[in-house]
Amino acid sequence: MRHVVGTIDELPPGTRKLVTVGGRSIGIFNVDGELYAVRNLCPHQGAQLCAGELFGPLHSDGPGDYRYSAEQLMLRCPWHGWEFDLRTGRSWFDPEKTRVKRYEVTVGDGRREGPYVVETYPVESGPGREIVIDV
C-alpha cells in the first residue's frame, strides 16, 4: 500500500527524514537526489539504525592499496557498528543472511489519485446512551 509521507521540499539532498508508516519507523535518505528508504531498526539489537553514519567504503587488495567506493552507500549502526548497504539493505559482513528491510520510495507528480476513502467503524448507542466503537 502506498503512503504519502511528505514533500520533496522537506528532504533536500544530503538530508534524511524519519517517518512512521503502519507503526514502523522508516528512514528516508536523499543522496544526491536519489531517494532510499530502510527500516529504522537494526537487526542486531534493535538500535535506531537511521541515526547512524552514512559513508562510502574503502576497498583494498593488499597493503598500500585502497580505493574509495562511491557505488556503495553504507549505513553504520550507531550502537555496535554493523554496516548495511543503503541501496540493497544487505549487511557488509553477511549480505545473504543479515539485512535490513528496504522500501521503494518515489517522488509523485503532485497529482493524487482518488477517490480516497476514510476507514470507518460501526458505532452503536447503548441503553445508557454510551457510544461504543469497534476497532
The Cα 120–Cα 124 span in angstroms is 13
Complex with ligand FES: residue 17 or 44, whichever CB lies closer: 44
Quick check: 101 binds ligand FES (CB under 6 A)?
no
Cα of 9 vs its chain's centroid, Å: 18
Among 28, 82, 85, 86, binds ligand FES (CB under 6 A): 82
Shortest CB 99 distance to ligand FES, Å = 13
Q: Which three cell numbers stand for residue 94?
A: 553477511
Over the window 22 to 61, marking each residue x when it contacts ligand FES by CB under 6 A and - when it does not, the resulting string is: --------------------x-xx-x--------------
Strand order in the sheet with 74-76: 53-55, 74-76, 83-85
Place of cell 536519489: 34
> Which residue ranges make up the site for ligand FES (CB under 6 A)?
42, 44-45, 47, 77, 79-82
